Amino acid sequence: MLKGSLKTGLSFGLTSGIITTLGLMVGLHSGTHSKLVVAGGIVTIAVADAFSDALGMHVSQESENQHSSREIWEATLATFLAKFVFALTFLVPVLLFPIATAILVGIGWGLFLLGLLSYSMAREQRVSPWLVITEHLVIALVVIAITHYVGHWVHAAFNSA
């Protein structure tokens, strides 16, 4: 069983890594259909957003005034590592497959990871896994759908100029 600070950072970093990276991948693909752009976006989000989320976690934990310095840094580092590592896993299908296939594989991978995390959380909290999994996957699918259409909108808006 993980310590609270590590569990907080890991669950936040994993969830953020999945949702942010999927949204970015789908939006960039819809707007550009470029493997290079999607790959560059993934690497950029893995670095920049991992630092951003880790700092956000750090400040959030400090502002609660309830955690030791060690707990704050554990949550900060766990957030960074989870976000960085899991975001980079989405690069693998982009490197291995044609971009349209890579997007579908990435979506499948992200939903699988999110479902696994949701199941684990539900079991630990002794609540229905199906409700938690459904809630989290629906949110992820909404993000995917919205970013898909935003990518199309950006493509149309900037190609007509």
- pLDDT tens digit sequence for 103-125: 999 999 999 999 999 999 999 99
Mapped onto helix, strand or coil, the DSSP state of residue 160 is: coil
Is the pTM higher than 0.75? The answer reads: yes
Number of C-beta neighbours around residue 46 at 10 A: 22
Give the largest CA-CA distance in the chain.
55
Which tokens in the block code for residue 79? 């957030």
Per the CB < 8 A criterion, the answer to whether 143 and 21 are in contact is no
Angle at which helices 129-159 and 99-125 cross, to 10°:
150
pLDDT tens for each residue of 44-54: 999 999 999 98
Long-range contacts of 117-121 (CB under 8 A, 24+ apart): 117/11, 117/14, 117/15, 121/11
* Residue 75 exposure: Cα atoms within 13 Å on the Cβ side: 19
| Look-up of token digits 């880790």 | 54
Tell me the pLDDT of the chain averaged across its residues. 92
